[in-house]
Amino acid sequence: MQRSNALRTHDLRLLERLLARRTINPLTGCWEWQGRRDRWGYGRITVAHRRYSVHRLSAALFLGFDLTSPLHILHRCHNPPCFCPNHLRPGTHQENMRDQPARRRSPGCGGTSLSLGPTDSTSNRACHRTAAGSTSSGRASASNST
């Protein structure tokens, strides 16, 4: 599988960076990203002057996923900040859209807190921040970039 040279030369440091910014949720097993997140709650990180989604990097490092692939990385846990490789799988855009009703998340929710569907728990985070800039769990979102 093809991967960018920048990632190949930084794999160990990248792995250390990812693992240093995770909290493992004891109820779900999710590796929740504690660094910068986008407006949908997905972890973001810069590597070699390029921004990546943390869950895609995790899939590349642990599952051998090709970052140039047009496939999406889908969450089995429906928890956007999660980057646990056991919770991730490649899938098409259509599969991702078909899965939306199950997790009760959809575009245009207006930044309100939404349920994460069948895997709901008080420790899971909603997909969007509230207007105040915090997650539905009441914890402030990390704003520092890595």
3-state secondary structure 21-51: CEEECCCCCCEEECCCECCCCCEEEEECCEE
Note the pLDDT of residue 104. 60
How is the chain split into domains, by residue range?
5-119
State both tokens at 120: 């709901």
Token duo for residue 98: 């078909």
Q: What is the tens place of the pLDDT at every residue in 98-126?
A: 887 666 654 443 333 333 333 333 333 33
Q: Which fold has domain 5-119?
A: Homing Intron 3 (I-Ppo) Encoded Endonuclease; Chain A (3.90.75)
91 CB-near residues (< 8 Å, 6+ apart)? 71, 72, 73, 74
pLDDT digits (tens, 9 = 90+) for 6-47: 455 468 889 999 999 999 999 999 999 999 999 999 999 999
**Cα separation of 27 and 48, whole Å?**
34
**Is the Cα dihedral 18, 23, 28, 29 positive or negative?**
positive
Per residue in 61-88, pLDDT tens? 999 999 999 999 999 999 999 999 999 9
Task: Quote the tokens at residue 123.
Answer: 């420790």
Of the candidates 96, 106, 95, 104, the one whose C-alpha atom is nearest the C-alpha of residue 124 is 104
Instruction: Answer for the pair 55, 67: CB distance below 8 angstroms, yes or no.
Output: no
Contact between residue 23 and residue 125 where contact means Cβ atoms under 8 Å apart:
no
